[in-house]
Amino acid sequence: MLSFKKYIAPALLALLSCNEPEDALVKNFETVSGSFSSGVYILNEGNFDWGTGSVSFFNPKKTYRENDGFLHSESKVFEQINKSEIGNVVQSMTVFNGKGYIVVNNSESVKVVQPETMKWLGTIKMPEGSPRHLLPIHSGKAYLTELYKNCIYVIDLKKNEISKKIPVSGWTDKLLLFENHAYITKRRSTFDKRKGGGMMLKIDTRTDEVVDSVSLPKGPCSLQIDQMRKLWVLCDGGFKDTPALVRINPYTMKTEKKMLFENQAGLAPSDLEINASKDTLYFLNGGVSRHPIHADKLSGNFIPRKRMFYGLDIHPKTGELYVADALDFMQRGVAYRFSKKGKPLDSMRVGVIPCQFVFMEQ
Amino acid sequence: MKKILFASLFILLGFQGIAQKEDNAYYLPDLDITDSRILERSGFKNQKIDSASIAENTASDLGELLSLQSPIFIKRQGVGGLATPSFRGTGASHTQLFWNGINLNNPMLGQVDLSLFPVFLNNKINVNFGASSLLYGTGGLGGAIRLESQPSWEKGLSVTARQYAGSFSTFATSLGIRTGNEKWNSTTKVYFKTADNDFEFTNTSQKESPEQDEYPRQKNKHAEQKQQGFLQEISRKLGRSDQITGRFWHQKNDRNLPPSMNKPSSKAVQKDDASRGILEWQHNDAFKNIIVRGAWVEETISYNNPDTNTDTKSLSTSWHLNGIFNFQLHESLYLNSGFTARKDNAKTDNYQDLESEKKVSRVQDKQDIYMNLEWQPSPRWSLSALARQQWIDGKAKPFLPSLGASVEVLNKKTFNWQTQANFSRNFHAPSLNDRYFYPVGNPNLKPEKGWNGELANRWKLKHKLFTAEYELTAFYSDIDNWIIWRPGVLRLWKPENLRRVISKGLEHTLSVQWNIGEWKMHTRINYSYISSENQKSYDGQDDIVNEQLIYVPRHNFNGFFRLRYRSWHATVEEQGYGKRNIRTKEYQNDEYLAAYWLTNINIGRSFNWGTHRVDAQLRINNFFGYHYQSVARRPMPERCFGFTIVYSFINS
C-alpha cells in the first residue's frame, strides 16, 4: 500500500519543491482541433459556484467511437482555446452576426466569442447580476433577461456593454422576437419571495417599452412561434400547479388554447422546441414528446426517458433531435442523437450538466 | 491503565488528575484541570487531544485543530468558512459533537460547523472513533467529538490573557479567569476574534480579459469575520460527594461569504449565534457516579444575500434532559446506564406547509436509553456490552447492540501488546431539513442504518529514555439507506435513501516521546487509508458503484514533532491529504483536487517570575506556501504568520 515510488517519493518531492497555483485543481485536457465551423456545440452548465461550465464540440462526420461505446466529442473547448475557464453557470449561447454570445449566469457576464474558433473576444459584464438569455434585436442591440435584478438589460452589441435597463418585476427568462416585438416569459422560483410568476411580456423593440402582457399558468419556461403566427408557451406548473401548453395570439395577447398535463407525478415539462417547418412542437417531459400544432390533445413521450433529460434542440437541416442528459448533475453528462422519428442514432459523453446544443453550418 | 479502570472510579479520577498536572507542568497552564469522568469502553478506540497541542492552537478553530491532530478530514469552504468533518469516510452529519454530554449538532442541518468552535473555549477535546460514540448517543457513524471541562477544587486564582495577531489582519483576544476553593469553582472565558482574510491568491480559474496572458493575482474579497464568545462555569460542592455545576456559553459569529474564483463579487453575509446552558447535578462515591443534567441550546443562522433577494433566518431551540447512572457492581464489573430526552423546535422560512405555503415550525422528540456492562473476567481480558434504544417522535428506531473486547497479549516491564475488537450496529436519523425542507423535504425518509466493526493492536515500548506507542486499527462499516440529495423535478434537489456505503480502512498512529537531559521530544504521526464507496445502483441506470465518495481523500496524514529545551519549545506540524474526487463518477480528463501537503512551524519561549508567567509564540502556517484547495475554486492562503503572547498568573 505504501510503496516508496508511488507515494513516499512524490510526497517528499511535494514537500520540498513548491507547487504552482494551477496544480491545486488538476485538469486534464485532450487536444482540440480548433476549428468548429461544422458540427454541434454542446453547452454544459457546470456546478453552481464551485464548478465551471464548459463547451463541448461534436462533428458527426469526424468523430470516432471510444472504448466505452460512446462517440468522441471534444471537451472543454473554450477553456483550451482561451486558457481560462468560461465560468458558471453556462446558461445559453446565441450566435448572431458572426459572433457567439455565451451567457454565464453566476459569473455575472456574457462571454463574446468567435463561433468558428471559440476564440474569446470580450466580455459583457453585468455586475452583481444574474443574466439568463440573450435575444439579438438588430446588429447594434440585444435584450438580456435577468433572474434577480428586476430588469431586462439592453445591450449595445457594438460596445459590448449595457446601454440601459428596462424595469420589470420578477424573473424574466426566455425571449422570442416576432416582427417588431420581443415576447418575454416571467417566472418565479420556489424560493423567490417576489410576487407573480406566470406571465408573458410584450416589448416594443423600437421604444424598449413594455406595451402589453398576458397572464399565464405558473412557470412559463419556454416559447416558440409556429407557421400560423401563433405563440406557444410551455408552463412547468412551478412545482404545485398543473403544467400546461398554452397558445397565445401575439397580436392580441389573448390565450386561445390551454392544454393541461394531467397525471404528471414528479414530472415537469421543459424545453419547448419547434421543427424547421414550424408545424410540430417538441418538448421534454421525462422523455421527449411532440405535439403537431393542430392536435387537440397532448400525447405521451415518443422517446422514453433516461436519467435526467435537461436539454433539447432540433437540427435545423436534418430535423434530428439532440437530447442532453444531466444524469446526477455531479459527473459528465451524456448527449443523445435521435432521428426525426425518434430512432436512437448515437450518443456521446459531454460536460457536466449539458443544457443546450448550437448547430454550426455544415 | 486497564487495571486502574476496574479498581475504582474514585481512584481513577484521582490518577487522571495527576497525569494532567504533569502535562501542564512544562507547558501553558490550563484553566480546566480534571479529565472526562466517564470511562471509555473496553475494546473501542478513542483519542484525547494533548493539551500542549491545544495550547499551541488556541487562536484556531476546532476544525483546524482536529485536522492537525486526528484522522478526521475537514472540508473547508475557504478561510473562516464552513468547516465540516468527514470521519472515516462518512458524511458531515455522521460526526456527532458533544459539549459536556449535550449533543450540539444543529437539529435542522444535522451537522456542526467546526469553524464556529474556538479552541480556546474548550480545552478538553476527545475523539471517539466509530461505535465508540455509542456510549454518548446515536448517529456517530464516523464517530464523535467531545468537548469537556470539569471544575477543579483547588484554592486560588488563575488568570490567562492571550493576544494573537496574524496575517490578513487577524486578531484574537482572550481572557480566562478561574477562581475558587475546595467548595466552589468559577471559570470565566471571554474570546474575541476579527479577521479580514484578505489574502492574495492566483485566480487559476478565470482571466479577467482575453488579453491577459497570466492568471491574475486577486484579493480574497468580502471574507471578513468576527467571532465573540463568552463562557461561564460555576460549580459548588455539596457535602463530600455531590456537586452542582452550571454552564453558560454564548457565541456570536458574523462572516461575509467570499465569492468563488468564478464569481466576480459577493454580498452574502451569514450570522451564527448560539446560546447554550447546562445545569448539572453530580454524585460521586467509590461505588457510583450519578449525573443528571438539563440543557437548553438555541441557535440562529441568518443568511442574507441582496444579490439574490435572499434573507432567511433559521432558529432552533433544543431542550435536553440527561441522566447517567454508573455503578461499580463488583470489583470486576462496572455498569453504565442512562437516558437522554430531547425536544427540538425549529423555525425557518424554509419550513412551510405544502398546501397553504405558510411558515410553520417543526418539532422533533427524541428519547434514548442505554445500558453498558464492563466486565474484566481476568486481569488480561476486559469485555464491554452495550445496548441502546432510541425513539423519535414516538416511533422506535433500530435497536443498537454493541460488543467490544480487549486483551493484553503481552505485558512485560518494557513491552506491552494489547489487541482489541468490537462490533456494533448504529444508525443516523434524518435531520429536520431532510424531513421538512420546503418543498422537497421527505418525511418518509428512513434512518441510515448499518453496522461497523474494528480490530486494533497497540504496542507500547518503554525505555529509560523513551516511550513509543504504535497503534494499528482496521475498521469496516456498512451503511444502508444512506441519504443523498439529488436533483429532481424542476431542478429541486430532494433527499432520498439511495445509497449503501461501505467504508473501510487502516489507521496507523505512532507516538514517541523521549528525554535526553533537558531535551524533551514528542512526535506523533497519523496515517490512515480510507476507502468509502457506494455499493448500490438506485434506478438501474445509475452506475456510480465502487467510486470513492466525493471530497473524501483515500490518503490522510498528519503529525507533529515537538522539541523542548528549558523554557524553549519548537513544533513542526505536518498534514497531507491525497487526491479528492469532485465527480461522483470519474472519467478520463475529469478534474479533481490534487493531493496537498501543509507544514506549520511554531517557536515559543516562556518567562517565569514566580507566580507570573509570559509565553511568546511565533507561528508560521503553510511554511512552504503550498497551493491547494479544500473545496474546488475556493482559494486558500499561502504562507502566513501569527504571533501570540500569553500572560498567566497562578496563585494557589
What is residue A321's predicted lDDT score, i.e. its pLDDT? 98
Is A26 in Cβ contact with B593 (below 8 Å)? yes
3-class DSSP state of B621: strand
Q: Long-range contacts for A300-309 (Cβ within 8 Å, ≥24 apart)?
A: A302/A341, A302/A342, A303/A338, A303/A342, A306/A334, A306/A336, A306/B541, A307/B539, A307/B541, A307/B542, A308/B487, A309/A284
In the prediction, which pLDDT does B17 show?
33
Q: How many residue contacts between A and B have a Cβ separation below 8 Å? A: 180
- Say if CB B624 and CB B618 are below 8 A apart: no
- Closest listed residue to residue A190, CA positions, set A247, A268, A249: A268
Q: Which of A107-111, B25-29, B107-111 has the lowest mean pLDDT?
A: B25-29
**B621 close to B602: Cβ distance less than 8 angstroms:** no
Give B263 to chain A, closest Cα distance, Å. 5
A positions 218-257 inside 8 Å of B (CB): 219, 236, 238-240
Among chain A residues, the shortest Cα distance to B77 is held by: A50
- The DSSP H or E segment spanning B327 is strand B310-330
Residue B412 has a CB neighbour count (10 Å cut-off) of 10
Using CA atoms, how far apart are residues A281 and B331, in angstroms rounded to an integer? 83
Distance between CA B344 and CA B316 in Å, rounded? 7
* CATH code for the structural domain at B2-19+31-651: 2.40.170.20
Q: Which of A22, A84, A132, A221 should we substitute to test contact with B (largest number of B Cβ atoms within 10 Å)? A: A84
Nearest-by-CA chain B residue for A67: B588
Residue B14, pLDDT > 90, answer no
Taking 90 as the threshold, does the pLDDT of residue A314 lie above it? yes
Residues of A in Cβ contact (< 8 Å) with B633: 25, 49-52
Q: What is the pLDDT of residues A81-103, one digit of tens each?
A: 999 999 999 999 999 999 999 99
Given CB atoms, is B634 within the 8 Å cutoff of chain A? yes
Is the minimum CB–CB distance between A265 and chain B shorter than 8 Å? no
CA atoms of B247 and B241, how far apart (whole Å):
20
Chain centroid offset of residue B378 CA: 35
Nearest to A90 by CA among A58, A124, A42: A42
The CATH T-level fold of domain A14-359 is Methylamine Dehydrogenase; Chain H (2.130.10)
* Lowest pLDDT segment from A271-275, A292-296, B3-7: B3-7
- The amino acid present at B582, given as its one-letter code, is I
Look at residue A11 and tell me whether its pLDDT is greater than 90.
Answer: no
**pLDDT tens-digit readout, A149-163:** 999 999 999 999 999
Length of chain A: 362
Task: Among A81-90, A185-194, B207-216, name the one with the lowest average pLDDT.
Answer: A185-194
Residue A199 pLDDT > 90, yes or no?
yes
B487: closest CA of chain A, how far (Å): 7
Q: DSSP string spanning B169-190?
A: TEEEEEEEEEEE-SSEEEEEEE
| pLDDT of the residue at A296 | 92
Please report which confidence band the pLDDT of residue A191 belongs to, taking 50, 70 and 90 as the band edges. Answer: confident
Residues 65-94 on A with a CB inside 8 Å of B are 75-76, 82-85, 87-88
**pLDDT on residue A256:** 97
Domain ranges of chain B: 2-19+31-651
- In the structure, what pLDDT confidence band is assigned to residue A295 with cuts at 50, 70 and 90? very high
pLDDT score for A194? 82
State pLDDT tens for residues A225-273: 999 999 999 999 988 889 999 999 999 999 999 999 987 777 899 999 9
Mean pLDDT of B310-323: 96
pLDDT at B178: 94
B553 CA to chain A: closest CA distance, Å?
Answer: 14
* Residue B33 pLDDT exceeds 50: no
Which range, of A3-7, B7-11, B90-94, B554-558, averages the lowest pLDDT? B7-11
Mutate to test the interface with A, among B207, B262, B313 (most CBs of A within 10 A): B262
- Tell me the three state secondary structure of residue A36: coil
At residue B462, the 3 state secondary structure works out as strand
B322 to each of A1, B37, B205, B249, B279, how far by Cα in Å? Answer: 45, 15, 50, 18, 10
What percent of chain B stands above pLDDT 90?
84
State pTM to two decimals: 0.93
Q: How close B556 gets to chain A, by Cα (Å)? A: 12
Q: Is the model's pLDDT at B268 over the cut of 50?
A: yes
User: What part of B 538-567 touches A (C-beta under 8 Å)?
Assistant: 539, 541-542, 544, 550, 555, 557
ipTM over 0.95? The verdict is no
Cα–Cα distance, A17 to A10 (Å, whole number): 10
Query: How much is the pLDDT for B24?
Result: 35
Q: Is A15 in the B-facing interface, judged by CB distances under 8 Å? A: yes
Please say if the pLDDT value at position B10 is more than 80. no
What average pLDDT score do residues B522-533 get? 97
**Residue A262, pLDDT score:** 87
Between CA B62 and CA B228 the distance in angstroms is 15
Do the chains contact at B541 and A307, CB–CB below 8 Å? Answer: yes
CB proximity list for B621: less than 8 A, separation 6 or greater: B598, B600, B637, B639, B640, B641, B642
Query: Distance, in angstroms, between A231 CA and closest chain B CA?
Result: 23
Domain definitions of chain A by residue range: 14-359
Over the range B569-581, which residues count as b (16 or more CB within 10 Å of their CB) and which as e? bbbbbbbbbbbbb
Residue B256 has pLDDT above 90, yes or no: yes
Q: How far is A330 from chain B (nearest CA, A)?
A: 5
